[in-house]
Structure 1
Amino acid sequence: MTIALPMPELRMIPIDRIEVLNPRERNQKKFDAIVDNIGNIGLKKPVTVTPRPGNDGAERYMLVCGEGRLKALLRLGESRIPALVVNVSDEDAFVMGLAENIARRRHQPLELLRGISLLREKGYGAKEIGLKTNLHEAYVRQILELTDKGEERLLVAVERGKLPISIALLIMSAGDDDKALQLAVQEAYESGELRGHQLMYAKRLAERRQFLGRSINKTTTRKKVDVTSSSLVRAYKREVERQRLMIRRSSVVQQRLLFVLGALGKMYADENFLNILRLERLDSLPKYLGERILRSGGSL
């Protein structure tokens, strides 16, 4: 379904004649900044409305886009607002407003996710949603898959760029099985999809999801956990295994570093090699590494 828009008309409209059908909650600090900005430099972009007949015979308007701008001018004591007037149906007005909110550069993560879900409820497929919101069709399908499973924690992590969506789907497929979750994260690490801080973030996220639930609703209560001798033993074994794995990895890294250090020592003992490095101005080394090479017989 596509929306063929007529040419909009710019008008100055009484604010009290505009109706907001789907008001959104706003971060008060950010909204205050918007109000200050508009108060200092004025409104840079008009709101968008569509006309509707009023009960009193006078024309009223339904807000399509620009709730924040509308409320900012209202707080500033303005009674009229510049608006682009378009003649569209209720359905098209809803989709236009939703698509603009999703396409905004600084949208809230859950706002994007709920917007995609609402568009699907309106009968739009993944391809159409992608076209309207400038998102890839495959990405929309994956988002909807996570949404259907109620995976809010994973969805927000994906939208904030903290976690690749492929890893979120992998964690989702593991369910609540602790061993399967650990295996999923480990496989992602070994495949190269997770590295460094992303790996640690994925582990913490998987643990929070398992312990606090999939939703990030602030009213979510912690799951009651019965502490028994067997659960303590399992927790102890998991921690011991984690420590063993860390020791094995550090041992491998140490062996590789010693190999590199030995190789550097032999190369720096070769005067011809040193001359080449000096010509290319590549003969400087960190102080600690240089001292280790000197002790192993090399020269600088």
Structure 2
Amino acid sequence: MKDESSEIRNIPINEITIINPRSRNKKIFNELVTSIANLGLKKPITVSKREDGSGYDLVCGQGRMEAFLVLGQSQIPAVMITATVEECYMMSLVENLARRNHSSMEFMTAIATLREQGYDNSQIAAKVDYSEEYIYATCYLLDHGEERLLTGVEKGIIPPSIAMEIARAHEADVQDALAEAYEKRTLPGNQVLAIRRIIDQRNSTGKSTSGMANRSKQSGKKVTAEALIRTYRKETERQKLLIKKAAVAQSRLLFVVNALRRLMSDSNFTTLLRAEHMITLPRSLAERVSGDRYVQ
């Protein structure tokens, strides 16, 4: 691929083929038409002349070309390059992705095409000027058919990492509920991650969300964001209670250990134990009280 010339030529619009057509926002397009009508074309389109001389393939500038047609023009200024149809398509694809105003479907199609061409995540990220994490998440969601989550990522509603965590949940209803909870700011991202961990744990132990999903199927009700929030809060309270119980047990154990240490330092008490043939302690207590001296 190379530039044929830096010279800008006027070429017939009807000889140009759009090899990677894309839909566009009507309001933005009308603004483009008005701008060109009032100020003229600021940047020429880019085309490649076909080898058989039958016309041109458009590399970039579909909006500008269509605006010229609306304004009744039959020719448009263009920069000529030499490239194959495949190269033109790839350049057009990258150009569209870099604009950031594409639809989710266009984005998914473009990323899928780049992957089919053999590009890895880092290469795609470099080409379209997105982070590698963003592309990795997009490819993961694409592989798992997560169009709804991809739309959320594209709109900036859900960060890529959060979208991946949501996609890893098992039930479709649970995924929707997690996404809804995050989008409505009912739960921050760290809580969404916590909920997914709860879901995974309960799926593996046969209770919780799988149980909740089973109950919802029996009752005909869909798992909602509110239900997940209740589940999360209930689990949080359960864990707090466990922490309290553990703290009480730890306190009591420390009391017993300290009491035994005092007793074991009393020669009269140890003499009494030997007389009663009670010369050992349970292993856990013995280790805490005085190392291995009284281990059974």
For the pair 1:197 / 2:185, whether they are aligned, the reply is yes
Query: Helix, strand or coil: the match of 1:94?
Result: helix
Q: What's the CA shift for 1:5?
A: 5.6
Structure 2 unaligned residues grouped into runs of 5+: 196-214, 238-296
> AA paired with 1:74?
L
Aligned CA distance change for structure 1 residues 86 and 181 (closer, same or farther; 3 Å): closer
Q: State the match for 1:139 in structure 2.
A: 134
What fraction of aligned residue pairs are identical, expressed as a percent? 38
How many pairs are equivalent?
213
CA-to-aligned-CA distance 1:175-224 (integer Å, 9 cap, x gap):
32656877x77xxx9xxxx6982738998xx9xxxxxxxxxxxxxxxxxx
CA-to-aligned-CA distance 1:51-97 (integer Å, 9 cap, x gap):
1145xxx5521111011110110111011101111111122111111
Q: State the match for 1:20 in structure 2.
A: 18
In structure 1, which of residues 28, 34, 40 is the aligned counterpart of residue 38 of structure 2? 40
Query: Helix, strand or coil: the match of 2:126?
Result: helix
| Contact 1:50 1:85 (8 Å CA) reproduced | yes
Q: What's the CA shift for 1:49?
A: 0.1
> AA paired with 2:140?
E
Calculate the aligned-residue CA RMSD, in Å: 3.9
Aligned CA distance change for structure 1 residues 41 and 175 (closer, same or farther; 3 Å): farther
Q: Distance in 2 between matches of 1:53 and 1:79?
A: 23
CA-to-aligned-CA distance 1:93-127 (integer Å, 9 cap, x gap):
11111101101143333322321111112222222
| Contact 1:7 1:86 (8 Å CA) reproduced | yes
Q: Distance in 2 between matches of 1:244 and 1:116?
A: 35
TM-score of the two chains, using structure 2 as the length reference: 0.60
Q: State the match for 1:63 in structure 2.
A: 58
Query: Helix, strand or coil: the match of 1:86?
Result: strand
- 1:22-171 → structure 2 map (5 Å cutoff): 22-53=20-51, 60-171=55-166
Q: Distance in 2 between matches of 1:145 and 1:240?
A: 24
> AA paired with 1:48?
T
Q: Distance in 2 between matches of 1:173 and 1:156?
A: 17
Q: What's the CA shift for 1:19?
A: 1.3
Q: Distance in 2 between matches of 1:101 and 1:16?
A: 22
Bigger-Rg structure (1/2): 2
> AA paired with 1:36?
T
